[in-house]
Structure 1
Amino acid sequence: MLHNPYARFAFSMLIFGSNGIVASHIPLSSYEIVLCRTVLGGSCLLLFALWQHELGQLLHQGRRILWLLIAGLALAGNWLFLYEAYQQVGVSLATLLCYAGPILVMILSRFVFGEAFTVPRVAGIVLVTLGMVCINGVDFQAHGLSWGMACGFLSATCFAILVISVKKVQGLSGLVSSAAQLLIASVVVAIVNLSAPVPDIHLSLPAIGWICLLGFINTGFACCLYFTCIQALSAQTVSICGYIEPLSALAFSAIFLGETLTLLQWLGAVLVLGGVGVAELRGHRIHVQRN
């Protein structure tokens, strides 16, 4: 089955959609979870890139290597804020908040690359904005901007910076770019962890197993699947099948974590995912390292 690029891509999206569920079983802070994921996943991708003899591409980047460094910083921020949002507001809401990232990319692209605002893009921005109001409006009115909500928005912002930075880097395969981003991010996350207080933690064998699953399978293996099949698929196929990730994240969080959304929040979820879909399916899809 996994010889079929469609099956490989769909399977990788399902794996990515389970990230929040796997992380919920790891008794570490969000910073420590991200450190484990970047180190283990980055090591996997580095070994795979060495096996494919692709690392030499980095020697031809010149000044553009700065954009790769920025991408690594943005990836670190994207994951740090996302996993903190997982712990603060749950997998469902964190996933939906982060999915505002593609819309932020479209807005920033207007000023960074001079890309015009098309009717589908404007419609997508409006739909996502309405969806965010439905998802967070009641809580925001009652309690103000919570730290979990802020982390979700910051994760989306870092995602947008990540996409812009990756677009500035040319001549790198997705595999090499992702390996470099993960290893750069691991250094940043390690520094963040060193500056934070470290409680005494005794990891059980099951917890270590979940950490290995997140790093090796949900990051290393899934990214290898993603980048080895993506070139064989059309942009429209990638755009449509990409929605397996957030939809599976919502389903997994409901089944395994018992998280539920209100009717208004479900309406917001439809608006957010639909808005991104309207904007992306009629535009150009940018392929970057997945969250």
Structure 2
Amino acid sequence: MKSASYIKYIFAFLLFGSNGIVASYILLSSVEIVYLRTLIGSLLLILIFVLTKQKVQFWKNKLHFLYLVISGVAMGASWLFLFEAYKQIGVSIATLAYYCGPIMVMILSPLLFKEKMTMAKMLGFIAVILGMLFVNKEAFLQGEISRGLIFGLLSAIMYAMIVIFNKKAVTIKGLENATCQLVVSFITVAIFMMFKQGLVVNVVEGNWLPILILGIVNTGIGCYFYFSSIGHLPVQSVSILGYLDPLSALVFSALFLAEQLSFHQMIGAALILGGAALGELFQPKKVTSRGKLVKL
């Protein structure tokens, strides 16, 4: 049972890490890509929820459901920012900007969750800041910050909101949590798109295959594998394997999109991922797997 859970968990992160690669083959705006992704992913998770005869219980705690709704709205906004960052600054740099999100949660956790501010968390925060300076060295030296980087950092802020409010919704777990959150994220993106351009999407011939892969495989199946396996794995394994997501994104972008990081950007990548891992893995108290959320 545990070996199967490991396989599903690892496969889920490899799918999440390939999101930007699959999206690069879709000739649509970032808003349209996220709209179709959340629509297809939501329908698949609802189908899986029904077929596996899960019990609907989110309505029992209205406050926790409100937290989950806020988390779902943040997820929709986060993906809108992230996929726009993919288009403007590439998958690798956008991924690194997005992964500032976990360190934001670490810094806010003493205020929001009464968790102790440890030396590991502080060092992790400093490492991430230095990492961002290394990754965007030229832009900072010229006194400029690109729109793509701003979108990437905004997606990181939304990531922090996802984690914070998801952690507060403690009574809504597993597949029900994922399904509710993804449906809310779809509604959020659909409302934004309706006011921006309407809900009709003109898909170019040949684009349906990557769209379906992104919606069904990367989002629907990826979420199902993630949430159906996380409860069967040790907390330490959950935290360590979580870094397959950004690492695989960097590897895939180099292999399939020919995106190359310069030497100082590779140092920055190591600082960002290492800083996020430092604060998360060296916890003074045992944490639960709900404290770890991923870039779905």
TM-score by length of 2: 0.93
Structure 2 residue identity aligned to 1:130 = L
Output the CA distance in 1 between the equivalents of 2:144 and 2:96.
18
Output the CA distance in 2 between the equivalents of 1:158 and 1:55.
29
Structure 2 residue identity aligned to 1:69 = V
Runs of 4+ with >4 A deviation? 198-202
Secondary structure of 1:130 counterpart: helix
Encode CA deviations 1:93-130: one digit per residue, 9 max, x unaligned.
00000001000001121211221111111111111111
Match status 1:37 vs 2:65: no
Output the CA distance in 2 between the equivalents of 1:97 and 1:201.
29
Output the CA distance in 2 between the equivalents of 1:21 and 1:193.
23
Per-residue deviation at 1:2? 10
Residue 290 of structure 1 aligns with which residue? 295
Residue 237 of structure 1 aligns with which residue? 237
Encode CA deviations 1:145-182: one digit per residue, 9 max, x unaligned.
21100011000000001111011112222211111111
Residue 69 of structure 2 aligns with which residue? 69
Match status 1:139 vs 2:139: yes
Contact 2:238–2:292 (8 Å) recurs in 1: no
Contact 2:89–2:149 (8 Å) recurs in 1: yes
Encode CA deviations 1:121-147: one digit per residue, 9 max, x unaligned.
111111111111101132233251211
Residue 149 of structure 2 aligns with which residue? 149
Deviates most, 6-15 or 83-92 = 6-15
Where do 1:1-291 residues align within 5 Å?
Answer: 4-142=4-142, 144-197=144-197, 202-283=202-283, 284=287, 286-288=291-293, 290-291=295-296
Secondary structure of 1:8 counterpart: helix
- Give me the CA root mean square deviation: 1.9
Per-residue deviation at 1:212? 0.4
Contact 2:21–2:91 (8 Å) recurs in 1: yes
Per-residue deviation at 1:204? 3.8
Output the CA distance in 2 between the equivalents of 1:116 and 1:143.
35
Deviates most, 276-285 or 256-265 = 276-285
Structure 1 residue identity aligned to 2:22 = V
Encode CA deviations 1:182-238: one digit per residue, 9 max, x unaligned.
111111111111222469975344201110000000000111111111111111111
The verdict on how the C-alpha distance between 1:145 and 1:100 changes in structure 2, with shifts beyond 3 A counting, is same
Contact 1:174–1:288 (8 Å) recurs in 2: no
In the alignment, structure 2 segments of 5+ residues that lack a partner are none
Deviates most, 1-10 or 107-116 = 1-10
Output the CA distance in 2 between the equivalents of 1:55 and 1:92.
39
Output the CA distance in 2 between the equivalents of 1:68 and 1:198.
26
Q: Percent identity?
A: 41
Output the CA distance in 1 between the equivalents of 2:294 and 2:68.
12
Contact 1:45–1:224 (8 Å) recurs in 2: yes
Contact 1:46–1:176 (8 Å) recurs in 2: no
The verdict on how the C-alpha distance between 1:122 and 1:32 changes in structure 2, with shifts beyond 3 A counting, is same
TM-score by length of 1: 0.95
Secondary structure of 1:170 counterpart: coil
Output the CA distance in 2 between the equivalents of 1:23 and 1:202.
16
Per-residue deviation at 1:46? 1.5
Output the CA distance in 2 between the equivalents of 1:200 and 1:176.
29
Structure 2 residue identity aligned to 1:287 = K
